[in-house]
Amino acid sequence: MKKEPEVKQTAASTEAAVKKAAAPKAGTEKPAKPAAKKPAAPRKRTAAKASQDVYIQYGGGEWNVADLVERAKAAYAAQGHDLADAKKVTVYVKPQEGRAYYVVNDVDTGSVVL
């Protein structure tokens, strides 16, 4: 029987052998995993189109604000103006005076009886 010669290993050669064994062989590398997707933002809930009615009550009387705006627009049109030109309509309700005053496009003014 032939005796194999003893091989002395140093600490440096042992570390190199461990690193070599731990390193993947060429061509056997696993493909990188794709980045995790961010969760989608939560959906925003939108309120259903609810009808809105605003009323003013004063001194035993009651007026619907939407009706007052429509009456103001009709009065503006009756003065000979074109409603298509009305970009902004502002209505001020003064129940103590019994009138609703309107301003159209920050220029033209008028009033309607409540």
What pLDDT sits at residue 40?
73
The residue ranges of the chain whose pLDDT is under 70 are 1-36, 47
- Residue range of the domain that includes 87: 55-113
pTM: 0.54
User: 24 lies in a domain?
Assistant: no
User: 90 lies in a domain?
Assistant: yes
User: 22 lies in a domain?
Assistant: no
25-60 residues labelled b (16+ CB within 10 A) or e (exposed): eeeeeeeeeeeeeeeeeeeeeeeeeeeeeeeeeeee
What pLDDT sits at residue 75?
93
Q: What is the number of domains present in the chain?
A: 1
User: 41 lies in a domain?
Assistant: no
User: 4 lies in a domain?
Assistant: no
User: 39 lies in a domain?
Assistant: no
User: 81 lies in a domain?
Assistant: yes
